[in-house]
Amino acid sequence: MSKIKHKVIHLSPSQLLILVFFTAIMLGTCLLKLPIASFHYVRWIDALFTATSAMTVTGLSTINSAKEFTLFGQFVIIALIQIGGLGIVSFALLIFIMLGKKIGLKERILIQQSLNQTSLGGVIKLVRNLFLFSFMIEFIAMLFLSIKWIPEYGFWRGIFYSFFHSISAFNNAGFSVWSDNLIRYVGDPIVNIGITGLIILGGIGFTVMSDIWSKKSFRKLSLHSKIMIIGTIVTNLLAMVFIYILEYHNPHTLGHLSTPDKLWASYFQAVTTRTAGFQTMDLSNLKEPTALLFLILMFIGAGSASTGGGIKLTTFIVIVISVITFIKGKQEIVLAKRTIANSILLKSLAIFSIALLAIFLSVFVLCITEKAPFLKVLFEVISAFGTVGLTMGLTTKLTIIGKIIIIMMMFIGKLGPLTLAVSFAKSEQASIRYPNEDILTG
């Protein structure tokens, strides 16, 4: 009898992360295709699109998810959002911890990859804090939002709406139970404060939240935490001012609103545009300068180890500081009296370049397949990459090819362009050093 040889396939942490994430999306697709999940027939491509959008915490939908999916379907979507936002690997690790299983080196490396950490030290503690903070914040937010929605919709429906939106907002997903998203609550303080508070907390990253919890002093925080906090505040304030000025007289967005509602809408959209995808004003008729501002915000995205997408705020800041450093003729990148390693700059430039390449190729294909203006196509692609979920009305009109392209962009945006690139690249350690030689650039 001949011996049968079994070939063992060894996957890197990045490849394993992609496989697990893809499997979860396929499972979500099958659940959304069940008859009890929808009121009407849902095509496979639309179920796949919705499952990917939920798992990548994006919020784009080719069908009216608020009307098409039953209560069971809504629970499937919210489960995918929670798992995708906090990380499927983190959930697996939580089960391991609860069962008393030993967490080995391979599991720690996988957690490091999924949470975008620079070292293996403290990843288990970070995961514990991740779940503690997330569930606590979502529960408090649910109670806060229920102050508005229980009197309006009754106890059980009000609780469900509060539960759904607290998870969707904290995970920066942008899914809503209403067809007009949150436009009906444009001037409501409770909804505005509750939703934007969740978006900001979910968007600054679990590393920052854990750092704040343990240090309790801004001066003692890590450089990453300081950059994220200051960068988030400055970005949101500048975006709010520009949106208010640019859209003030636009009758389709802010023009018809009262002054307080204009301020609420500008603030809400400034916060949500970077990654969350909720909206309290119609975006289909934005002025072109505002649309360009939105494109920049969506491309930058949220923070590392957060529920959001994009190239990440810290990546953008490192690149900007490096350009300023070069213009000043300095050799080292210094920020807040700390030197930024060249490896961080190289990683930031790699993320930026791969993201631009993916966006360019996607826009190129969609310009061929979709009958839509260039601005709407570009807006859709960057919204998918940033896992934002905002649209200028193109999502429901996408062709089959268009839907596949946007699905791929949501996948890339959530896992990160560098993670996908590394998973397919063969790592090589340089054993020989070669002499330097200059080349002409610029």
| Cross-strand pairs, 334 | 339
| Distance from C-alpha of 351 to C-alpha of 170, rounded to nearest angstrom | 25
Token pair for residue 245? 């000025």
Q: Which of 389, 438, 295 is nearest to 56 (CA)?
A: 389
Q: What is the pLDDT of residues 415-431, one digit of tens each?
A: 877 667 666 665 555 56
CA atoms within a 13 Å half-sphere pointing along the CA-CB vector of 92? 14
Q: Note the pLDDT tens digit of each residue in 86-120.
A: 776 566 666 656 656 665 665 566 565 555 555 55
Confidence at residue 275, expressed as pLDDT on a 0 to 100 scale: 84
In the block, residue with structure tokens 């490096």:
322
Structure tokens belonging to residue 202: 């979910």
Tell me the mean pLDDT in the region 139-165. 95
User: What does the alpha-carbon distance between residue 227 and residue 235 come to, in Å, rounded to a whole number?
Assistant: 11
Whether 28 contacts 387, CB under 8 Å: no
| pLDDT tens for each residue of 210-228 | 888 888 788 888 888 888 9
The predicted pLDDT at position 421 comes to 67
Q: What is the pLDDT of residue 415?
A: 81
| Cα–Cα–Cα angle for 204, 207, 211, rounded to 5 degrees | 105
Confidence band of 409 (pLDDT split at 50, 70, 90) = very high
Calculate mean pLDDT across residues 175-191.
Answer: 91
Q: 287 pLDDT exceeds 70?
A: yes
Q: What is the pLDDT of residues 221-280, one digit of tens each?
A: 888 888 899 999 999 999 999 999 999 999 999 999 999 999 999 999 999 998 888 999
Mean per-residue pLDDT for 58-72? 89
Helix (H) or strand (E) holding 21: helix 13-32
Residue 201 has pLDDT above 70, yes or no: yes
Question: What is the distance in angstroms between the CA of the first residue and the CA of the last residue of the chain?
Answer: 67
1 pLDDT more than 50: no
Compute the mean pLDDT over every residue in the chain, rounded to the nearest whole number. 85
For residue 382, is pLDDT > 80? Answer: yes
Contact by Cβ (8 Å): 275, 309: yes
What is the pLDDT, as a whole number, of residue 203?
86
Taking Cα atoms as reference points, which of 93, 22, 8 lies closest to residue 51? Answer: 22
Six token digits for residue 295: 């494109």
| pLDDT over 80 at 122, yes or no | no
DSSP, residue by residue, 349-383: HHHHHHHHHHHHHHHHHHHHH--S-HHHHHHHHHH
- pLDDT, residue 440, reads 73
What pLDDT shows up at residue 425? 60
Among 98, 101, 108, 99, smallest CA distance to 16 is for: 108
364, 352, 355: which is closest to 413 by C-alpha?
355
Spatial CA neighbour of 296 closest among 374, 385, 229: 385
Mean predicted confidence (pLDDT) in 384-404:
92
Q: Which two tokens stand for residue 334?
A: 């210094």
The pLDDT of residue 297 is 93
- AA letter at 405: I
User: What does the pLDDT average to over 334-353?
Assistant: 87
Please tell me the predicted confidence (pLDDT) of residue 304: 76
Report the share of the chain in percent with pLDDT over 90.
50
Closest CA to 248 of 237, 236, 259, 238: 259
Confidence tier at 300 by pLDDT (50, 70, 90): very high
Report the alpha-carbon distance of residue 367 to residue 4 in Å, rounded: 51
d(CA 413, CA 52): 11
User: Residues 369, 371, 376, 380: is their CA dihedral positive or negative?
Assistant: negative
- The 8 Å CB, 24+ separation contacts for 26-33 are 26/51, 28/54, 28/55, 28/76, 28/80, 31/76, 32/69, 32/73, 32/76, 32/77
Helix H or strand E encompassing 339: strand 338-340
How high is the pLDDT of residue 402?
Answer: 95
